[in-house]
Structure 1
Amino acid sequence: MKRVLIITYYWPPAGGPGVQRWVQFVKHFRDFGIEPIVYVPENPHYPLQDASFKKDVPSDITILKHPISEPYALAKLFSKKNTQKMSSGLIANKKQSLLGKLMLFIRGNFFIPDARIRWVKPSVQFLSNYISENNIDTIVTTGPPHSLHLIGLKLKQQTILKWVADFRDPWTTIHYHKSLRLTKASSRKHKELEHQVLNTADTVVVTSSVTKEEFKNITPKPIKVITNGYDASIKIESQLDAKFSIAHIGSLLSERNPIVLWKTLAEIASENVDFKDDLNLVFAGAISEQVLENIISFGLEENCKILGYVSHEKALQLQHNSQVLLLIEMNKPETKCIIPGKLFEYLAAQRPIMTFGPSGSDVSSILKETNHGKYFPYNDGELKETILSFYSDYKNNNLKVVSNGIEKYSRKALTEKMARLLKDI
């Protein structure tokens, strides 16, 4: 067994998509000759928690913990609401208060690259000793938060370790980077750190082809694409909703707001009484006030079911029960590289997917490849025809998809790919 140290911030009981990638790798690593050792914060600030992920962690692996000092605990004393939004990623809000703007400025310019920067120095000291005493020769850092890559950078500079930097999201081109109110000096510092990490790591791993092409302009180092995926071991019995349900699982930011969809649904509802009665819009996860206001403005309030955050297990059941699954990304060039983890769970649910996002997105390619739904670049195009076609199939008890090659996105197949990379490095 090759022993690999994995440095991650998100770990059970953390909830949300950030934790699942490495929990699933760790779950399957031993099947492919990797013995994982996981390093996590002892007292982290997790905006979402989901205890159900604990069952996926092998009970006998080594988990190292070290205290972390985070500013979010202090920030909550001034504004719990703004702190929750920032730590959850809900910062793309045009109606920010003066306090909210100030907190973003402090977050962006005094904590570079992010609010976990104060964990870097104590982690390097702690891990340096552990690595030397336990003959570790390979480490993985995964971000965001990208400050964890600075732990890898400093350990790499001090030792002869092999280092894999795993980017679940890009760094300086992620959609919320421009919202941080960075000064020119701070923006330059982000770029310098990004360049250092990408050019010092032995191998860089990304979750999308678009990010790979972006990083190729910064570093000649090897860049591998290993996407997120779905857990094929989870067996769920579908109980399809009686209503014509269109479900979105996950956070809906203010800019994840396809007005054309709400408008088209309202238009069909005004033309077809049965459609109006059958339609059920299901939202599981945080939803911005602006999105909700827009939906209500089109007269769809009675058709909405707002569930708030639900456990991962319930989210999976909702996906399998829904007639149609909705995936929404911001209509920005920076989000072409974003492949939400829930896309792969949507694929596993075997339900039609309706997606909105920017042209040229990796999501569009995956949908086309797997034959799982329709992708719309925030315009009506064939939207009305698609919804009516889905609805007609629903009325005829024939709404389904015929999958094509989703098996390569199973967590176990992806773990084999990651394990091969770690052995060959």
Structure 2
Amino acid sequence: MRRVGGSLSLDNLENYSRDFKDNIQNLIENGYLEEVKVMILEYEKIVEKDFELYSIKGTIALLEGDLKKAEKYFLDGLTEKPYDSDLIYNLAYLYEMRKENISAYRQYKKLFPLAMGDLKEIVSLKITELEKLTQVNDYIERKKVLIIAYIFPPLGGSGVQRTLKFVKYLRDFGWEPVVLTVDEGDFPFTDSTLEKEIPQEVEVIRIRENKDLDIYYVNKLIEMYQTVVGNDVILKEYIELLESNPDKLNDFAFLPDHAIVFAKEVLDKINDLLNFDEIDLIYSTSGPYSDHLIGYFLKKKYEKKWICDFRDEWTNNPYADFDRKSILFKMIESMEINILESCDKILTTTPLAMQNYIRSFDLETNKIETITNGYDEQDFSELLTSNEQGGDKKFRIMHNGIIYMIRTPETFMKAVHNLVLYDLIPREKIEILFTLTENDDHWRDIAEQLGIDDLVDFLGYLNHQESLLYASNADLLLLIVGPGEKNKSVYTGKVFEYLRLGKRILALSPSESLVEALINKTSRGANYEFEDVQGMQEYILSLYKEWETKEFSDLVINEDIRGFERRQLTQKLSDVFTEVIKENN
């Protein structure tokens, strides 16, 4: 283990600080750790912020065997001083203690150009020894892809699944993911259970958003916009909007979304945290769409190939209510145009979204591909499904996902109301489960007005595995896409897990939509227009009668379903990666 720190100059406290650290060093070497911790508390009352305390505290935690706490101290210190040799060495030493050899190797490689004298020789020997290990050699051989994803565990919600599963399986196909994400992001959902799916020793770089925003910071954002918008006329009109509405900066200054603050911090700090000489490819995924601005600037700076993955369309998003005449829309549209032109490959999640991009932005067809969302077979391996029927069991309908904006259950609830009102289904024999909604109280009121509040239960936000368990014990799964022409091109992320669950699906999406085609192709249920209450109630009643006769069983998982398995989809992604880095090389 290295010495815990050098000297630090503090006005009027230099001698005190030096004597304190010399004394601390002696006490640590002689094992007086409790005494040292007391002394540090006293020291911090006099010296408010001393960077070297990260190394001292980390070393104490290391000696006490609290490796998790030690790691946090070392990483926090490196956030403030990324090239501190002692911190890097101690972090590498910690990873070796935990047998995390890939992580140790990365730190020693980072330290080698900084080290001098005996330390350089020690680090060189460490690197040589680690390179003899199979796992480290495999890591070296894999191509490296930088995954830019604001939404990543412990952040939750449906948007996290696509990126997480790609990261989970990319190593199987010769790619090493390096994840760039937010630290303590401003996002409504968290699911810490998802962190266990991140493969061991995958590098996850977490950068915290700046909360101390002022007009100077906004001006720095405008400088970013100037580059990516690339239109002086639009930018001039946008600046005039800001100047004439100084009280509305929070509404107008953060484009394309509030994650632009994260993007700004990334661009300021990433060079200190990542060696781009080792990166073969950049991949960014939205939303938020600010992830693509990071990719845009990093491609220009480091001249790397870059893939943009749109989990949802951007300016053509069916859930976004843009004023297409506004300067804010023109700014975002210009960003999208330049990003689409600058990236090397575009990915969408549906064939119709791909066609929309080709048509709307006059893209060449070979620049864009579709990789759908899917399901992970491992998520279903331990689910316990109840097959009880009749008796006291109720016919259970469940919506597994978030109800928001135009995705509302009102017409479905009217269908249920009609079924129980006319005693077509006894009310004691049916129950409706919803997970998270934008406003539970609103939907409780609607249920009460319809006289079905005793049938409806709101479960709130569930972690991913809990939600699948509930869904696996449902008899009918409700899928709400929403009305309108734009919703024809939408696959909701959960539809593929619905398919794998082997349950009947009641979908509410436009006629001739992708969802309707998918459900028909896989024989998984029925799709109805959003306002087709009569069609919904007839379908529910037919399934209830089948269920009541105890002739109701789960559907077979066939090859049409297995084609949406996440590992197979990741193989498709890896093929795209390989193709892109080979182009023009």
The 1:271/1:338 distance shift into structure 2, 3 A limit, reads same
Which residue matches 2:298?
155
SS in 2 for 1:148: helix
Look up the match of 2:280.
Answer: 137
Q: Is the 2:210–2:265 contact (alpha carbons within 8 Å) kept by the matching residues of 1?
A: no
- Return the match for 1:184 from 302, 326, 335: 326
Aligned to 1:370: 522
Indicate yes or no: 2:192 matched with 1:37: no
Output one character per residue of 1:292-335: Cα deviation in whole Å (capped at 9) or x when no partner: 33332211101011111112111000110001110112213333
Answer whether contact 1:109 1:183 (CA < 8 A) is retained: no
Of 257, 262, 266, 2:413 maps to 262
Aligned residues of 1:232 and 1:410 also touching (Cα < 8 A): yes
Which residue is equivalent to 2:533?
380
Aligned-partner Cα distance in 2 for 1:225–1:199: 18
- Unaligned stretches of 5+ in structure 2? 1-141, 214-244, 581-585
Give the corresponding residue for 2:168: 27
> 1:257 touches 1:291 (CA, 8 Å); kept in 2?
no
Cα RMSD of the aligned pairs, angstroms, is: 2.3
Go from structure 1 to structure 2 and tell me whether the alpha carbon gap of 1:46 and 1:259 turns closer, same or farther (over 3 Å shift).
closer
Asked whether the 8 Å contact 1:107–1:114 carries over to 2, the reply is no
Deviations 1:202-251 (A, max 9, x none): 00011111211111021326111111111101311211472111101121
Task: Give the corresponding residue for 1:223.
Answer: 368
Name the CA distance, whole Å, in 2 between partners of 1:295 and 1:255: 18
**What are the equivalent positions in structure 2 for 1:164-183 lying under 5 Å apart?**
164-178=307-321
Rounded to whole Å, the distance in 2 between the matches of 1:275 and 1:106 is 55
For the pair 1:395 / 2:538, whether they are aligned, the reply is no
Equivalent in 446, 452, 463 of residue 300 of structure 1: 452
How has the CA–CA distance of structure 1 residues 107 and 372 changed in structure 2, closer, same or farther, with 3 Å as cutoff? farther
Q: Give distance in 2, aligned partners of 1:7 and 1:36.
A: 10
CA distance in 1 between counterparts of 2:354 and 2:175 reads 25
Counterpart residue number, 2:348: 206
In the alignment, what sits opposite 1:96?
A: none
Q: CA deviation at 1:70?
A: 5.5
Paired position in structure 1 for 2:489: 337
Sequence identity percentage: 28
Give the Å deviation of 1:43.
Answer: 2.8
Contact 2:507 2:528 in 1 (8 A): yes
Which one is further off, 198-207 or 233-242? 233-242
Instruction: Give the letter for the 1:120 counterpart.
Output: A
Secondary structure of 1:308's counterpart equals: coil
1:246 and 2:388 matched: no
Q: 1:381 to 1:209 in 2, by over 3 A?
A: farther
Q: Is the 8 A contact 2:143 2:280 kept in 1?
A: no
Paired position in structure 2 for 1:82: none
Query: Superposed, which structure 2 residues align to 1:321-336 within 5 Å?
Result: 321-336=473-488
Instruction: Give secondary structure in 2 for the equivalent of 1:178.
Output: coil
1:10 counterpart residue number: 151
Look up the SS of the partner of 1:382 in the other structure.
helix
Compute the TM-score of the two structures, normalised by the length of structure 1: 0.87
Correspondence 1:104-143 to 2 at 5 A:
109-128=252-271, 132-143=275-286
CA contact under 8 A between 1:371 and 1:402: conserved in structure 2?
A: no
1:52 aligns with one of 193, 202, 211: 193
Q: Deviations over 1:268-314 (max 9, x none)?
A: 11222753211101111125344433332211101011111112111
AA of the residue aligned to 1:202: D
Q: Is the 8 A contact 1:240 1:320 kept in 2?
A: no
Q: Is the 8 A contact 2:424 2:541 kept in 1?
A: no
Pairs aligned (count): 393
| Amino acid corresponding to residue 403 of structure 2 in structure 1 | L
Match of 2:206 in 1: 65
Q: 2:257 aligns to what SS in structure 1?
A: coil
Q: Identify if the C-alpha distance between structure 1 residues 399 and 124 changes in structure 2 by more than 3 Å, giving closer, same or farther.
A: same
Q: Contact 2:374/2:564 (CA < 8 Å) preserved in 1? A: yes
Aligned to 2:470: 318
Structure with more of its chain in helix, by fraction: 2
1:131/1:160 CA distance change after superposition, 3 Å = farther
199 and 364 in structure 1: CA distance in 2 versus 1, 3 angstrom threshold: same
User: Is the 8 Å Cα contact of residues 254 and 291 (structure 1) preserved in structure 2?
Assistant: no
Structure 2 counterpart SS, 1:40:
strand
Q: Does 1:194 align with 2:336?
A: yes
Question: 2:483 & 2:513 partners in 1: Cα distance?
Answer: 10
Q: Structure 1: which 5+ residue stretches go unaligned?
A: 73-101
User: CA–CA distance in 1 between the matches of 2:274 and 2:356?
Assistant: 32
- In the alignment, the residues of structure 1 paired with residue 460 and residue 484 of structure 2 have an alpha-carbon distance, to the nearest angstrom, of 26
Q: Distance in 2 between matches of 1:37 and 1:389?
A: 50
Q: Within 2, Cα distance between the matches of 1:296 and 1:350?
A: 32
Runs of 4+ in 1 over 4 A off after TM superposition: 105-108, 128-133
- Distance between the aligned counterparts of 1:203 and 1:326, measured in 2? 34
CA distance in 1, matches of 2:450, 2:549: 27
In structure 2, do the counterparts of structure 1 residues 107 and 363 end up closer, same or farther at CA, with 3 Å as the change threshold?
farther
Cα displacement (A) at 1:403: 4.4
**Are the aligned partners of 1:143 and 1:149 in contact in 2 as well (CA < 8 Å)?**
yes
Change (3 A) 1:12 1:357: same
Q: Which amino acid aligns with 2:375?
A: Y
Q: Which has the larger Rg?
A: 2
Structure with the higher strand share, 1 or 2 = 1
CA contact (8 A) 1:247 1:324 kept: yes
Paired residue type of 1:42: D
Q: 2 CA distance for matches of 1:274 and 1:290?
A: 25
CA distance in 1, matches of 2:163, 2:442: 33
2:503 to 330, 351, 373: 351
Deviation per residue, 1:346-369 (Å, 9 max, x gap): 111111110102233221121112
Q: 1:187 to 1:270 in 2, by over 3 A?
A: same
**Contact between 1:372 and 1:402, CA under 8 Å: does it hold in 2?**
no
Shift in alpha-carbon separation, 1:333–1:291, aligned structure 2, 3 A:
farther
* TM-aligned CA distance change 1:274 to 1:185, over 3 Å: closer
Question: 2:384 aligns to what?
Answer: 237
> CA distance change for structure 1 residues 329 and 71 in 2, over 3 Å: closer, same or farther?
farther
* Inter-CA distance 326–133: structure 2 relative to 1 (3 Å threshold): closer
Distance in 2, Cα, partners of 1:280 & 1:189:
47
CA contact under 8 A between 2:286 and 2:309: conserved in structure 1?
Answer: yes
